[in-house]
A and B are shown apart, each in its own frame.
Chain A
């Protein structure tokens, strides 16, 4: 950090001037606050942080921060963030998006990001609905939820992202609630500091298409038990809880995947590098 940026950074320094497009009361506002609060505590200058997302209401978040951002295509935030982190290990890389983005269209990447365990923090703003496309069921929507596209409900058991993350190899698993921004910020700080792939599933009410989710404020409660490094124990807990306990559920010790990358990302190539004598030799008969 340079002397100039060594001044104390506050949450404001991580907020952009853009006004979010979210509906008034949307849970995502508080998550944005929690992210900027966590950033201030981590205190990496904003230019050393990159926030990567897919598509959805929640995926709008990068432009609302003052960091480098990438608002990509639907479902592909994790591979984009992976490519950035592997080629720029010096950056702090955060991926963020919705439950549809991460668990439906991006489901395969979710599995492999957990398994690959690159040092990324993945924030899923789970509102159990597709907000941006105006109210269709997502993989975490309850089976009986009625909608125009799936009248009478899906009848399908919701996807359990936390257990799947544990099974697939995520190194840090937590649940948070948007209604508690400072609690969420604290979990985020721990997630960012923990090496490897961290999943923070944040319950975030969609007040427009799931107004009943306002009730979540009364249902959430801090995790009754201590965090664990035992995957089986963590899995048993999240499978038997009511889906509303918040806190860090699992903290593993897998080494992050970060193969050496010495070609400096700050030195853009493409200028016509000369041949390599060793490679030339290979082609001599």
Chain B
């Protein structure tokens, strides 16, 4: 514990300290228009201002608008990478269709369930686990206090129950309602106070004091990916909306505009990928974002970009598949199409962020890789990052030195696809006198002239492979933590739950080692061999029925025969308890 933390702790009254918990999870339920998402987001924001870490995920019924909704929030003094195994508090503004959240809501006898509907008949999901049941009559309270809204009372009650500071809540409520005038602000505060007063009747463990103040950000994986791309230099984007990638596009569109860039809504994914190929050919750093079905449509043209050596970034925010699958839930099942989905021998880059804030870094890094090697990069994010809001540490500002190699003053002997030492050839941008060439998906000679000759095909294939294989990826290729002899090899959104499970199973960090690959392709066999040195046990963890990651590792690396696998499909996200149980079994 730091000194500041010790001091803070010392200043908290004993009674509270006794009940303090470093992590508290709650859920809020309500039907369409009940305002659960607004309430939960204010709570998350207040926690961030108070210095906590957190994660908020949302779940909705199938209705396009106005259906039942559930917000899940975990707050902690430690970084939060996955929702807690079960909720400490469930607040239902009403119970309409609450049964739909059965698989996602984990309650126990320790859970406090507060029903906001007086005398309501509670559904099985709320009663079967035998939690403590309490009631706040939201209707009566809001009726007797003019202008107060049920979700604001609920917000106050949850804040009070888990020990979030009233001042931070009050500030946020006032900021939100400031446009609606003084009266609305006062009514909002009254509602919050009603909730706090009610909460005083229920005993619940309170959040332990927040750690030392460090700047926090509230950000979704989709926003982080968009911002990372902008930091990487992306200025032109074209895309077609698809869940769960759309928020990247909607975040980017006005911001690109602000900095002189542009996002175009294309007529389909075939158009979006080709529009960005055109933009990149013209010299802009470009991206498109999509999900599995869109990536499938784009794959022919990504092959074109490989052959024509056009840098671009495709972000695939993965969802349950195949086909329309489960658009609102996560899965790690697009790995095969991202790695193997192109026709021909088409070396390209596939990356994957390992946390919400890593979406920012990985998008920036992927842009850098694409531009440096003049190659398409596919970044595999997923719904559980994209549509979740995290309270994270403010991400570091990094800069990469390399830029696209451009032929500034091409001479008589300029060759667009010249065979160079690195395999990367300076690109002449349209407008540059003397650099005219035709970018081509047809195999070509060094000048770009179509050629089906053996020598040209072999040389150009070799060049395009060499430039991505020999590139110096540095330490970013993987996230490696711990040096135990039992290694867990994983990727993407499985990383957070694995990391949290490791902390539980091996709190001293002596037995386990985490290797989470950020660079999926091209494979780094020598690096992985070094990372695995000294391991006597290997477990691969992934969220895919067909174990696509495990299959890829077996194909690309000499994985020892003792390597074990824990793989299952979505839509249930991995929880730390599930992985911890698996680890215990595996280690014993």
Contacts and interface: CB of A to CB of B under 8 A. Distances in A.
A interacts with B: yes
Interface of A: 2, 5, 18, 45-48, 50, 52, 55, 62-63, 66-73, 75-76, 78-88, 90-91, 108-109, 111-112, 259-276, 278-280, 283-285
Nearest to A278: B258
B260 A70 contact: no
Nearest to A75: B270
B230 A268 contact: no
Interface stretch (B5-13, B92-100, B367-375, B522-530): B367-375
Given A18-B449, A68-B436, A50 B430 contact: yes
Interface in B195-239: 215-219, 223, 227, 230-236, 238
Given A70-B438, A72-B274, A83 B232 contact: no
Contacts of B276: 83
B227 A112 contact: no
B304 interface: yes
Contacts of A261: 235-236, 260-262
| Interface hub of A2, A84, A284 (most chain B Cβ within 10 A) | A84
Given A46-B436, A76-B301, A263 B274 contact: no
A79 B430 contact: no
Contacts, number: 248
Q: Which 9 A-B pairs have the closest CB atoms?
A: A269-B233, A270-B371, A83-B278, A262-B260, A83-B275, A69-B438, A285-B48, A272-B399, A84-B278
B277 interface: yes
A63 B450 contact: yes
Nearest to A91: B430
A4 B89 CA distance: 77
Interface in B134-185: none
Given A84-B430, A266-B429, A274-B399, A76 B279 contact: no
Interface in B34-72: 45, 48-49
Contacts of A86: 236, 262, 264, 275, 279
| Interface hub of A50, A67, A267, A275 (most chain B Cβ within 10 A) | A275
11 contacts: A70-B278, A73-B300, A79-B275, A80-B277, A83-B286, A85-B278, A259-B264, A270-B367, A274-B231, A274-B399, A285-B45
A275 B233 contact: no
Nearest to B270: A76
Given A73-B304, A263-B236, A266-B431, A272 B275 contact: no
A88 B282 contact: yes
B283 A266 contact: yes
Given A47-B433, A47-B436, A109-B267, A285 B217 contact: yes
Nearest to B300: A73
Contacts of A87: 235-236, 262, 278-279, 282-284, 286
Given A63-B449, A259-B257, 17 more contacts: A47-B433, A47-B435, A48-B430, A70-B277, A73-B300, A79-B278, A80-B274, A87-B235, A260-B262, A265-B279, A266-B283, A269-B232, A269-B285, A269-B371, A270-B234, A283-B219, A283-B394
Interface stretch (B319-327, B328-336, B439-447, B482-490): B439-447
B324 to A, nearest CB: 20
A63 B88 CA distance: 67
Nearest to B262: A261
A268 B371 contact: yes
A83 B274 contact: yes
A37 to B, nearest CB: 18
B454 interface: no
B547 interface: no
B271 A270 contact: no
Contact of B283 (A55, A80, A88, A285): A88
B402 interface: yes
Nearest to B258: A278
A52 B274 CA distance: 11
Contacts of B303: 73
Contact of B49 (A69, A280, A285): A285
B476 to A, nearest CB: 13
B404 interface: yes
Given A265-B282, A270-B372, A72 B304 contact: yes
A155 to B, nearest CB: 29
B281 interface: yes
Given A68-B436, A69-B438, A71-B441, A272 B400 contact: yes
Contact of A269 (B255, B257, B284): B284
Contacts of A260: 257, 260, 262
Nearest to A67: B436
| Interface hub of A91, A259, A268, A285 (most chain B Cβ within 10 A) | A285
Interface string B460-479: 00000000000000000000
